[in-house]
Chain A
Amino acid sequence: MSTDKQLFTVSVYTENNIGLLNRISAIFQRRHINIESLNTSPSEIESVSRFTIVVNMTEDNMKKIIGQIEKQVEVIKAFYHTEEEIIYQESCIFKMKSGLLFDEREIQNIIKESNARIVTVNRDFFVIEKSGRKEEIELLYRELSAFGIMQFTRSGRIAVSKEEMKISTMLEAFQA
């Protein structure tokens, strides 16, 4: 039902503009909606940026917010998708004591089984990187935390939709 809260991934195609991040985040803030994650990057179209925003809310409100995002002058188009409609990845890095690599054989197994990879090793610490779905990253976090994590950070979600998002055609229509 559209009145239950669920996770949505919002993709916003925009002109590259300094103030736009403020305008977009203010739309969520005004309605007291917490942004679970936010990522900005270039898109498949030159000079067009892409925001990927994850929020937890009702579909009714999601639709209203998409309308308010699209209304911003520098927004080309905004889409929202449910978890099933996208392919997504998040990535994370762990910094851990180097000694663990030799003292705890288990760690090697965890890294291998979770498809994580070691980015660098030096005398004091080593760094593990993992990309995947949220649950996989959470699992890896739980497994590694038993050994003591020196630092951990996780990136915002990036996602592509299964269906096409027709941006190029829109931009061409403008040229015509």
Chain B
Amino acid sequence: MKETQTIQNKKESTTTAVRISGSEAVVRCLLEEGVKVLYGYPGGAIMPVYDELYKYQDKIHHVLARHEQCAAHAAQGYARISGEVGVAIATSGPGATNLITGIADAQIDSTPLVCITGQVASHLLGSDAFQETDIVGISTPVTKWNCQITKASDIPEVLAKAFYIAKSGRPGPVLIDITKDAQFEEFDFAYKKCKGVRSYNPIPKTEKSSLEAAAKLINAAKKPLVVWGQGVILSEAEEAFKAVIEKAGIPSAWTILGASAIPTSHPLNIGMVGMHGNYAPNVLTNECDLLIAIGMRFDDRVTGNLATYAKQAKVIHFEIDPAEINKNVKADVAVLGDAKASLEAILPLINKNTHAEWHQKFKDLYAVEYEKVIKNDLHPTKEGLTMGEVLNQINIQSKGEAAIVSDVGQHQMIACRYAEFNQTKSNITSGGLGTMGFGLPAAIGAKMARPEREVVSISGDGGYQMTIQELGTIFQQKAAVKVVVLNNDFLGMVRQWQQLFFDKRYASTEMVNPNFVAIAEGYYIRARKVTKREELAEAVAEMMASKEAYFLEVCVEKEDNVFPMIPTGASVSDIRLE
């Protein structure tokens, strides 16, 4: 075979050489990549970089989080609402390990992050030096790529590669660990953006034959169903997606990470699939003759029991990551490539259609769900407040323009089910990892990336207390996040399972909660608590009208359950309404 000698990355030069330290180079690299905000926490091994951040503070804004996990989550929120790479930075040892939960969350939810950690000097590596931890080893299973730098001269090339890998193809988190001596060392700095890595093919080629085969199935289908996911948003394929489903007249349902890609009110938007999704798309998944999955990975929360999932249907899978094809659900036609390009290419190949009769089935089942579940969630007549009516009030006030950042639990499912969206990239939540504590810091990142947008953080009383200290970041940054806690005095989601599957043995799920209003006020954040229905609308209106951060606690019914629900191991069509 012919030997190939290449430099491993394609580069484009943007700067000429200047002699600077490794730590200054780190900051210059961030500026070259257009980074305006980064989140982090200082400490010994990263101090040289912080010293440079001090010098460059008019060009780049460092946000001091109150915990490194939250720096990572804030960077995630920043990335999710903007589509840009989020950046987090921490010191070695505990600073680095504290980032891990956020990195793992970003990995499973395909969020582009560059995380920079300081490391002990290279001559100390492997010696159990003070605050030494093998963060490259620890982060390997939860990063798209990672690398340790021990020579200043490697900094520009590695960081350029880091940004390229984080954002391209299926995005993900990258961790770069930099020894302290490399931060001090001086070298001739020049920056070249990375344009490619030879061993890495971010976007697989789309076969024309796959598009034709897919179009043929779509044109022949009598009962097609689209399930779209976050891939549509990551690909910025919203317009192309809408054009395709509108032309073919296909009812379309979303995963929670796909939510907001098209407006909630769009007539073809038939709601959410999965464990706590809507009745019609779940039930009819097992009746459609063609299932068209677009940028979603058939998570087990979506499919329920795979043995009984859409067995009657042909399956088309639009996907950028070849490893997702046939991983959980066998695809009759796999359309590899970027969703936007694939959808644009397939548009001329598909026929106009309306599928009116088929649509009626969704409407009929929606009516069933409305009577049994939705009506009581949104417009309850019983005494206690529901989470759903809070969402309803937020919808009324936001008119669908807010970004909703939820935490994990019952309130998350309610937020995803009922929040109304007019704009894409507006439903920010921890999907794959289900990280309690994600919501508040992610909302800070989202608000800072898009200050002009209304950002509402919705947490439960449990998860809120996992990262409650970020109220300090909100206060210091004057980030006008609207913070809602739906307080049921329970780890509600777990309590629901205990009720349904463990004979109501509420092991360690009841919470004795503090005075949340006093805590928010302790951080000088305006705060209010609502316990009665009569006060709710006005309180939400007051919160949404506030120009500054605002904390709203709503005491809801303690033992409400989220329905519909697909019990674990059950089929999507066995979804329970009560």
Q: Which residues from chain B contact A68 at a C-beta distance below 8 Å?
A: 323
Q: Does B327 contact A (CB under 8 A)?
A: yes
Cβ B136 vs Cβ A19 within 8 A = yes
Q: How long is the Cα–Cα vector from A68 to B5 in the complex, in angstroms?
A: 26
Cβ A64 vs Cβ B326 within 8 A = yes
Cβ A45 vs Cβ B3 within 8 A = yes
Q: Which residues from chain B contact A30 at a C-beta distance below 8 Å?
A: 141
Report which of B8, B136, B137, B321 forms a contact with A71, defined as CB distance below 8 A: B321
Q: Does B13 contact A (CB under 8 A)?
A: no
* Binary CB contact string for chain A from 55 to 94 against chain B (1 if under 8 A, 0 otherwise): 0000000011001101101111000000000000000000
Quick check: which of A97-105, A127-135, A138-146, A164-172 contacts chain B, the rest being far away?
A164-172
Q: Which residues from chain A contact B145 at a C-beta distance below 8 Å?
A: 73-74
Q: Which residues from chain B contact A23 at a C-beta distance below 8 Å?
A: 140-141
Cβ A167 vs Cβ B140 within 8 A = no
Q: Does A14 contact B (CB under 8 A)?
A: yes
Q: Which residues from chain A contact B136 at a C-beta distance below 8 Å?
A: 19
Q: How long is the Cα–Cα vector from A76 to B145 in the complex, in angstroms?
A: 14
- The number of residues on chain B lying at the interface, defined by a beta carbon within 8 Å of a beta carbon of chain A, is 29
* Binary CB contact string for chain A from 18 to 48 against chain B (1 if under 8 A, 0 otherwise): 0100110010001000000000000011111
Assuming the contacts A68-B323, A71-B321, asked whether A174 and B140 have C-beta atoms less than 8 A apart, the reply is no
Q: How long is the Cα–Cα vector from A26 to B141 in the complex, in angstroms?
A: 7
Cβ A46 vs Cβ B140 within 8 A = no
Q: Does A106 contact B (CB under 8 A)?
A: no
Q: How long is the Cα–Cα vector from A45 to B2 in the complex, in angstroms?
A: 7
Assuming the contacts A26-B140, A26-B141, A73-B199, asked whether A175 and B4 have C-beta atoms less than 8 A apart, the reply is yes
Q: Does B198 contact A (CB under 8 A)?
A: yes
- The number of residues on chain A lying at the interface, defined by a beta carbon within 8 Å of a beta carbon of chain B, is 28
CB distance from A12 to the nearest CB of B (A): 11
Q: Does A15 contact B (CB under 8 A)?
A: yes
Q: How long is the Cα–Cα vector from A70 to B137 in the complex, in angstroms?
A: 20
Assuming the contacts A26-B140, A73-B144, asked whether A46 and B199 have C-beta atoms less than 8 A apart, the reply is no
CB distance from A43 to the nearest CB of B (A): 9
Report which of B137, B144, B325 forms a contact with A67, defined as CB distance below 8 A: B325
Assuming the contacts A15-B8, A46-B3, asked whether A174 and B325 have C-beta atoms less than 8 A apart, the reply is no
Closest residue on chain A to residue B325 by CB atoms: A67
Cβ A174 vs Cβ B6 within 8 A = yes
Q: Does B507 contact A (CB under 8 A)?
A: no
CB distance from B385 to the nearest CB of A (A): 43
Cβ A171 vs Cβ B4 within 8 A = yes
Q: Total contacts A to B, CB within 8 angstroms?
A: 70
Closest residue on chain A to residue B144 by CB atoms: A73
Q: Which residues from chain B contact A171 at a C-beta distance below 8 Å?
A: 4, 6, 198
Assuming the contacts A15-B199, A73-B199, asked whether A47 and B326 have C-beta atoms less than 8 A apart, the reply is no
CB distance from A167 to the nearest CB of B (A): 7
CB distance from B278 to the nearest CB of A (A): 30
Q: How long is the Cα–Cα vector from A46 to B1 in the complex, in angstroms?
A: 10
Q: Which residues from chain A contact B196 at a C-beta distance below 8 Å?
A: 174
Cβ A46 vs Cβ B5 within 8 A = yes
CB distance from B433 to the nearest CB of A (A): 15
Q: Which residues from chain A contact B34 at a C-beta distance below 8 Å?
A: none
Cβ B5 vs Cβ A74 within 8 A = no
Cβ B322 vs Cβ A70 within 8 A = yes
Cβ A168 vs Cβ B140 within 8 A = no
Cβ A46 vs Cβ B4 within 8 A = yes
Query: Which has the most chain A C-beta neighbours within 10 Å: B4, B141, B147, B199?
Result: B199
Q: How long is the Cα–Cα vector from A42 to B6 in the complex, in angstroms?
A: 16
Q: How long is the Cα–Cα vector from A44 to B6 in the complex, in angstroms?
A: 15
Q: Does B206 contact A (CB under 8 A)?
A: no
CB distance from B303 to the nearest CB of A (A): 16
Cβ A73 vs Cβ B6 within 8 A = no
A residues with CB within 8 A of B: 14-15, 19, 22-23, 26, 30, 44-48, 63-64, 67-68, 70-71, 73-76, 167-168, 171-172, 174-175
- A–B pairs, 23, beta carbons within 8 Å: A15-B199, A19-B140, A23-B141, A26-B141, A45-B3, A45-B4, A46-B3, A64-B326, A64-B327, A68-B323, A70-B323, A71-B322, A73-B197, A73-B199, A74-B199, A74-B200, A76-B199, A172-B2, A172-B4, A174-B6, A174-B10, A174-B198, A175-B198
What are the 10 closest A-B residue pairs judged by CB atoms, nearest first? A67-B323, A174-B198, A171-B4, A76-B199, A73-B145, A73-B200, A168-B1, A168-B2, A44-B1, A15-B199
Q: Could you list 17 further interchain pairs (A-B, Cβ under 8 angstroms) beyond the known A73-B200, A171-B6?
A: A19-B146, A45-B1, A45-B3, A48-B4, A64-B327, A67-B322, A67-B327, A68-B323, A70-B323, A75-B199, A76-B198, A167-B1, A168-B1, A168-B2, A168-B4, A174-B6, A175-B198
